[in-house]
Amino acid sequence: MLKILDYETHTRLVNRYVSLLRVTPAEGFCRPTVNELRKTDRNLFEEILSWVAKGYGTLQAGITHHLDDRESWVWKLMHQQPESTPDQGVEKTLEDKSKKRKRDISSEDEDRRASRDHKGDRRGGGRDDPPPPRYCLVCGKKHEPRCELTPGAP
């Protein structure tokens, strides 16, 4: 349809993936997992498409290059690993990333609270001091209670 990758090259790529998944591992080693295949595929296409986006070559040429070079870094993830090695294709999910971010934010908040409790606020106030006065919307000065808004005022 788009003619960005011909059938023969796509078939070669699929056959490479299948052959890497079906390889008989040596004793004490395990086959590559489907997760590792997915990660390899993602890395391959990210690499190729970054070059295509810069205007260097085509998807067809990039895949052909990596298929012809069996020692390319892209295929290293699909090498046999010792059985004790965890799955190299497992990636952090968005949920894991958001949990880590929330944990980092909450620890920053705790650090800020602790430093404010011990040292006091930058303005010199502690936890028991009233909040600093805000500007009045009517007259523009700092005072409490605020001026009343007049009806029809912008």
What is the rounded distance in angstroms from the CA atom of residue 116 to the CA atom of residue 120? 5
What is the rounded distance in angstroms from the CA atom of residue 141 to the CA atom of residue 58? 64
The CA-CA-CA angle for residues 127, 132, 136, to 5°, reads 155
Please report whether residue 12 resides in a domain: yes
Please report whether residue 28 resides in a domain: yes
Tokens found for residue 7: 């059938």
CA dihedral in degrees (49, 53, 54, 59; nearest 10)? 50
Among 78, 81, 84, CA closest to 30: 81
Q: Go through 84-102 and write b for each residue having 16 or more CB atoms within 10 A of its CB, e for each that does not.
A: eeeebbeeeeeeeeeeeee
Please report whether residue 111 resides in a domain: no
Contact present, 111 and 100 (Cβ < 8 Å): no
Please report whether residue 110 resides in a domain: no
Q: Which domain holds residue 28?
A: 7-82
C-alpha count within 13 angstroms, C-beta hemisphere, residue 134: 6
Tens digits of pLDDT across the chain (154 residues): 467 888 898 999 999 989 888 888 888 888 888 888 888 899 899 999 998 899 888 888 998 988 888 888 888 878 777 776 666 666 666 666 666 666 666 666 666 665 555 554 455 555 677 776 677 777 878 777 778 777 765 5
Please report whether residue 68 resides in a domain: yes
Domain count, the chain: 1
Please report whether residue 65 resides in a domain: yes
140 DSSP assignment: -
Please report whether residue 100 resides in a domain: no
Q: Please state the pTM of the whole predicted model.
A: 0.53
What is the model's pLDDT at position 29?
83
Please report whether residue 109 resides in a domain: no
